[in-house]
């Protein structure tokens, strides 16, 4: 089998490393919480984000007190106008406020809060498929959309710089003033070596085809957005330079990806080796895979002092914090991106005569950028004029 030239592919992870990493992660997990509590908050000249001074009617308005117990507190009214008003949620889209009258909703919220607690303590969290499916359905997603979600990857387009990948992306805003998440207008994408991402296309301005309504109006995808909004809201973290932590919003870039390996090319979900994604929170969710060998696409989390850009094979076992593998629909990993680096092994074929594929959703969430950031000119907060979507969030109390 012939693969990409060495300059365009990361080294394969040896079985020896996979085994040693598993042993190292087992030992590391016992001391992880204590290690990560030390110096995990970087000094900053800016205060933490605060709640907006206004909140539109409808987000919890008129509900009994016990139904708003999990929501962010309603600020005192002022004369300032809200930045956005949540429109009526169209039929067929997720509206967690309507679900708040069902017992299953509170079971889901309880599970999310337990996950959030684990995330805050460990600085990453693994949510197995069964639990994530229960949460999404409890938040109001439908089983029909769950069955339809994997097929959305069949319409992906070719990636501008990676020949083994098909990709679409879209931008969203977690707006904590309106307590909603909405689709934003198209912008190109850039990720730089300054952000701990070293690859031959680092720093390039890349343009991806946009995700369509088939994905963004799927209630399972919308439930995943609500889930992530709940988990990351109010979490203190190591702060990245040139991001505006005073703004009461998060920008989310969603990547819809298919990685392919065949006899001509090796698909590598992390060709860049050990890296960070230049954001505050990274979430990865599996949609499906075909003909993928059992040792494929194993995710390793590394200490931040591990060298950026080196192949997984060169990682120091003592710097490996954990090891997970997405194998089932909606298996999900969340990482505090500026406190953990990560890497993945390649996608290998089970049957060498057939393509191997792996389909993922990757959710990058960060604060809006400041001047001087590589994305300062491509970080619009303007809603999408054609591909419109806005749904309510349900936010935990953080004060």
CATH code where residue 384 lies:
2.60.120.620
Mean pLDDT value across residues 218-239? 96
Residue 131 within any structural domain of the chain: yes
SS (H, E, C) 93-111: CCCHHHHCCCHHHHHHHHH
* 287-332 pLDDT tens trace: 999 999 999 999 999 999 999 999 999 999 999 999 999 999 999 9
- Asked if 175 and 169 count as a contact pair (C-beta separation under 8 A), the reply is no
Q: Which residue has the tokens 């109390």?
A: 397
Average pLDDT over residues 246-271: 96
Give me the number of domains the chain comprises.
1
Q: Higher-confidence residue: 101 or 255?
A: 255
Residue 49 is predicted with a pLDDT of: 31
Q: What pLDDT, on a 0 to 100 scale, did the predictor assign at position 43?
A: 33
pTM, rounded to two decimals: 0.79
Q: What is the pLDDT of residues 146-171, one digit of tens each?
A: 999 999 999 999 999 999 999 999 99
Q: In this structure, what DSSP letter does residue 292 have?
A: B
Q: Tell me if 2 is assigned to some domain.
A: no
pLDDT at residue number 150: 97
pLDDT at 389: 97
Domain assignment present for 270: yes
Q: What is the DSSP letter of 261?
A: E
Whether residue 95 lies inside any domain: the answer is: no
Domain holding 199, by residue range, is: 10-36+108-392
Residues composing the chain:
399
Note the pLDDT of residue 46: 35
**pLDDT score recorded for residue 399:** 52
Instruction: Report which DSSP code applies to 281.
Output: E
State residue 398's pLDDT score: 59
pLDDT tens-digit readout, 190-207 = 877 777 787 767 778 889
Check residue 191 and give its pLDDT.
Answer: 79
Radius of gyration of the chain (CA): 21
Please tell me which residue, 15 or 144, carries the higher pLDDT value: 144
Within-domain flag for 138:
yes
The reported pLDDT for the residue numbered 30 is 44
Residue 258 included in any domain: yes
pLDDT in tens, 23-63: 444 444 444 444 433 333 333 333 333 222 233 333 444 34
Cα–Cα distance, 365 to 225 (Å, whole number): 11
Confidence (pLDDT) at 198: 74
**Mean pLDDT, rounded, of the chain:** 83
- pLDDT at position 86: 66
Q: Return the pLDDT at 37.
A: 33
Q: Residue 16's CB: how many other CB atoms inside 10 A?
A: 9
Q: Is residue 94 part of a domain?
A: no
Q: pLDDT of 74-86, one tens digit each?
A: 444 433 434 445 6
What is the greatest pairwise CA distance in the chain? 67
Flag whether 285 is in a domain: yes
3-state SS assignment for residue 213: helix
């Amino acid at each position: 089998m012939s693969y990409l030239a060495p300059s365009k592919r990361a080294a394969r992870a040896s079985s020896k490393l996979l085994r040693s990493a598993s042993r190292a992660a087992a030992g590391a997990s016992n001391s992880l919480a204590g290690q990560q509590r030390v110096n995990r908050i970087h000094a900053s000249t800016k205060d933490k984000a605060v709640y907006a001074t206004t909140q539109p009617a409808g987000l919890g308005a008129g509900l009994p007190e016990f139904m708003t117990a999990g929501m962010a507190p309603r600020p005192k009214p002022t004369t300032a106008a809200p930045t956005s008003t949540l429109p009526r949620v169209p039929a067929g889209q997720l509206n967690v406020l309507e679900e708040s009258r069902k017992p299953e909703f509170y079971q889901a919220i309880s599970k999310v809060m337990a996950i959030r607690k684990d995330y805050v303590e460990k600085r990453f969290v693994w949510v197995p498929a069964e639990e994530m499916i229960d949460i999404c359905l409890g938040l109001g997603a439908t089983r029909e959309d769950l069955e339809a979600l994997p097929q959305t990857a069949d319409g992906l387009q070719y990636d501008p710089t990676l020949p083994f990948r098909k990709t679409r992306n879209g931008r969203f805003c977690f707006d904590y003033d309106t307590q909603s998440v909405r689709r934003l207008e198209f912008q190109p994408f850039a990720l730089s070596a300054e952000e701990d991402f070293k690859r031959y296309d680092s720093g390039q301005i890349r343009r991806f085809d946009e995700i369509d309504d088939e994905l963004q109006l799927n209630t399972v995808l919308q439930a995943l957005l609500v889930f992530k909004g709940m988990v990351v809201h109010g979490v203190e973290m190591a702060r990245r330079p040139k991001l505006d932590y005073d703004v009461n919003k998060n920008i989310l870039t969603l990547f819809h990806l298919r990685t392919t390996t065949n006899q001509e090319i090796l698909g590598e979900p992390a060709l860049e080796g050990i890296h960070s994604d230049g954001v505050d929170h990274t979430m990865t969710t599996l949609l499906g895979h075909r003909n993928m060998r059992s040792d494929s696409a194993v995710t390793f989390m590394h200490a931040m002092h591990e060298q950026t850009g080196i192949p997984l094979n060169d990682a120091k076992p003592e710097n490996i914090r954990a090891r997970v593998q997405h194998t089932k629909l909606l298996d999900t990993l969340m990482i505090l991106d500026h406190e953990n680096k990560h890497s993945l092994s390649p996608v290998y074929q089970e049957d060498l005569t057939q393509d191997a594929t792996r389909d993922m959703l990757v959710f990058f969430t960060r604060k809006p950028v400041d001047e001087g950031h590589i994305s300062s000119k491509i970080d619009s907060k303007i809603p999408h004029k054609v591909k419109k979507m806005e749904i309510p969030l349900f936010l935990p109390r953080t004060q």
